[in-house]
Amino acid sequence: MAVQGYVNLEPKESRIVVPVLDAARTTVPLEMVIDTGFTGYMTLPSWVTRPLGLERGEEQRMILADGQVVSTPVCRATVIWHGRPTRIVVLELDARPVIGMSLLLGSDVAMAVREGGWVSITEPSEA
């Protein structure tokens, strides 16, 4: 099952919607920015993780793109990825929600990089 999205030129980013299951196992669609420079699965701000009731774990130190070292809470979440429930690690950062390379791993990503362009993320067997 393909994940579809779109491209914005202002700001320059590609976006998709990722369904996340809350504590009651209800699907909540969240719009995410694709960040190929982020090696983790997903980041979400606290104003999203807390209402979802995501399982919280230890804090983790990480290095941001600007070189700043921060300590951030780690959560566990179930997302619907390629049509299947998938358990992932979510870093709680009070910034825009992003998905990273760990979630994209094993997928084919294609996009038309122009205003209103398309984004398509598929499993290799769908290509």
Q: What is the pLDDT, as a whole number, of residue 126? A: 54
Which residue positions in the chain have pLDDT lower than 70? 126-127
DSSP letter, residue 52: H
Q: What is the pLDDT, as a whole number, of residue 1? A: 75
Q: What is the pLDDT, as a whole number, of residue 98? A: 97
Dihedral sign, Cα of residue 42, residue 88, residue 46, residue 2? positive
Q: Is the pTM for the entire model greater than 0.85?
A: yes
CB 120 within 8 A of CB 17: no
> What single-letter amino acid sits at 8?
N
Q: What is the pLDDT, as a whole number, of residue 62? A: 84
Q: What is the pLDDT, as a whole number, of residue 73? A: 94
Instruction: Supply 90's token pair.
Output: 């979510």
**Assigned fold of 11-106:** Cathepsin D, subunit A; domain 1 (2.40.70)
Give the span between the Cα atoms of 33 and 99, in whole angstroms. 6
Report the SS3 class of residue 88: strand
Give the span between the Cα atoms of 106 and 47, in whole angstroms. 30
- What does the domain layout of the chain look like in residue ranges? 11-106
